[in-house]
Structure 1
Amino acid sequence: MFANYLIGLREGLEAALIVGILIAYLVKIDRRDLLGRVWFGVGIAIVLALGVGAILTWGPYGLSFQAQEILGGGLSIVAVGFVTWMVFWMGRTAAELAGNLRSGIDKAAQGAGWGIVLLAFLSVGREGVETALFVWSTVGPSTDATLGAAWGAFTGVLLGILTAVVIEILIYRGLLRINLSRFFTWTGYALIVVAAGVLAYGIGDLQEAGALPGWGAPLYDISGLIPPTSPLGSVLGGIFGFTPIPTPLQVIAWVLYLVIALILFTRLVRSKRRPAPTPVPTTPLGETA
């Protein structure tokens, strides 16, 4: 549940910040007549995200076990790709987000301003679809056995989104100031760890379906020490995708993804913190002074 709360908080805050910037800028340029179009675009994006979530949850119900495992494993890997892209994209563009968005608003607000609907829809819809895909990858298609887990995941995401909305309202009203760069940095690190577990889980699904080799030959077995149904096993599984009986391919994928993603993300964070070099003074002819 915590992992889903985190993804809901992270994606929800990104979407809420974008909507807040849209509204604040339209008010500033005296285009309040376009606020309804913002909410119309947001509404369509929410419907899209709910539709994607419903299709993923109940659509595969009638598929064979092998087909469900292949679909689940494949979409888990896709979800990891989306989340990784989102973490690095926000790490690169967080500081310029407001400026870039205002430039887009200026273009979208021309004429009747229907471009605002598209801008709001794309900005919020992307976050919604990513959230639906990532949460589904941690639960899988709806069955009687997974119904409780599905509701737990939905509750976690909903609480995360509600928290994000409250934070954005407080920021918009000037009642709260938070270091967004630091927030996205630490949640980025946390989501990389969560995504590594989802990747290993997805590979396990593909192996169980026979799409990848190696199923049935675990690298180690610590289920006696940490049973997957125990409270500790459930917490580790829900947050980190922990499995006490992993295959060698799962472990290799988990380690490689975690090491490479953490190194690259750390370099990105440090490059953003490094001050820009002072330009060298030149003469009018371009020669160094």
Structure 2
Amino acid sequence: MIVPFLIMLREGLEAALIVGIIASYLRQTGRAAWMPVIWTGIFLAVTLALLGGAALQFVSAEFPQRQQEMFEAAVGLIAVGVLTWMVFWMRRASQGLRSELTGALDQAFQAGQGQTWALIGMVFLAVAREGLESVFFLLAVFQQGRGTGAPLGALLGVLCSVLAGWAFYRGSLRLNLKHFFRGTGLFILLVAAGLFSGAVRALHEAGLWNHGQRIVFDLSEWLPLDTPLGSLFAGIFGYQPAPSVSEVVAYLGFLLITLFFFFRPGTAQLARPAAARVGG
């Protein structure tokens, strides 16, 4: 429950932040009449994410066991990719996000035509990107565990992000984006490492990866998965009581590489123009 909540809080807050900047700028510049257009973009993006998630879930349910393991591995690898990309993109973009968005809005309105589609496109792309990223992440999490805790945590995360976005729009929220995205980014990289290790395990179960299957250690008697602490560690960090060599190498290798770039000085200043892509 904790992992889906925090991830959806961050994903939702990213989308809410972008939508809040656009909405507040429209209000400040006397363009509040364009607010229904924002809701149109949000509705279309949410619809796309829900349909995409439902389609993937339906397709995966029809697979036999081996194909289900392959599908689980593929979804896990995609989730690792989008989560890692999200961490580094938002770390860069958060510094100049407001100026990039307001500049794109000014250009759209100064063009004199197509403002409606431009505004819908900005909101749609921002929300749809976060929504589709969330779909792959939640599928990866749901496939590794059962129960109502994960969906409930995801729903609470979305609700909290919506409230935070509304508070940001009303001007009552002053969030230190640099510290927030740095802290949650570190947490997400730990989660992504667990998903990557789980994808390697799924590839082995599908018969596609049979290297390094010697057990490194066995903590089944000390910290089994069916205990509250074991379940917590499994949900957050992808803990397995008896991991193989390939799983440990995948976990530690992923962390060493990503944390090196995450903490490397100057990383946040690289490729700042990427923020401009938020506006379509």
Query: What is the aligned length?
Result: 266
**What residue in structure 1 maps to residue 277 of structure 2?**
none
1:231 aligns with 2:231: no
1:28 aligns with 2:25: no
Cα offset, 1:158, TM superposition = 1.1
Percent identity of the aligned residues? 38
**What residue in structure 1 maps to residue 102 of structure 2?**
102
Taking a change above 3 Å as real, the CA distance of residues 215 and 44 of structure 1, as seen in their structure-2 partners, is: farther
**What residue in structure 2 maps to residue 71 of structure 1?**
71
1:195 pairs with one of 192, 199, 202: 192
CA distance in 2, matches of 1:17, 1:55: 28
Q: Which has the larger radius of gyration?
A: 1
Structure 1: tracts of 5 or more residues without a match: 273-289
Cα offset, 1:105, TM superposition = 1.8
CA distance in 1, matches of 2:267, 2:89: 15
1:178 aligns with 2:175: yes
**What residue in structure 2 maps to residue 259 of structure 1?**
256
Q: Is the 8 A contact 1:196 1:254 kept in 2?
A: yes
Structure 2: tracts of 5 or more residues without a match: 270-280
Taking a change above 3 Å as real, the CA distance of residues 17 and 80 of structure 1, as seen in their structure-2 partners, is: same
TM-score normalised by the chain length of structure 1:
0.87
1:60 aligns with 2:60: yes
Taking a change above 3 Å as real, the CA distance of residues 45 and 116 of structure 1, as seen in their structure-2 partners, is: same
Q: Is the 8 A contact 1:9 1:160 kept in 2?
A: yes
Taking a change above 3 Å as real, the CA distance of residues 262 and 225 of structure 1, as seen in their structure-2 partners, is: same
Taking a change above 3 Å as real, the CA distance of residues 268 and 15 of structure 1, as seen in their structure-2 partners, is: farther
Aligned partner letter, 1:31: R
Q: Is the 8 A contact 2:261 2:267 kept in 1?
A: no
Which stretch of structure 1 is more off in the superposition, 75-84 or 105-114? 105-114
| Root-mean-square deviation over aligned CA pairs | 1.8
Aligned partner letter, 1:243: Q
Larger relative contact order (C-alpha < 8 A, sep ≥ 6)? 2
**What residue in structure 2 maps to residue 82 of structure 1?**
82
TM-score normalised by the chain length of structure 2:
0.89
SS at the partner of 2:215?
A: coil
State the 4+ residue runs in structure 1 displaced beyond 3 angstroms.
107-110, 214-217, 268-272
Q: Is the 8 A contact 1:200 1:251 kept in 2?
A: yes
1:12 aligns with 2:18: no
1:24-173 pair list within 5 angstroms: 24-109=24-109, 110-113=112-115, 114-140=117-143, 148=147, 151-173=148-170
Cα offset, 1:112, TM superposition = 4.4
Q: Is the 8 A contact 1:194 1:241 kept in 2?
A: yes
**What residue in structure 2 maps to residue 222 of structure 1?**
219
Q: Is the 8 A contact 1:91 1:268 kept in 2?
A: no
CA distance in 1, matches of 2:266, 2:12: 22
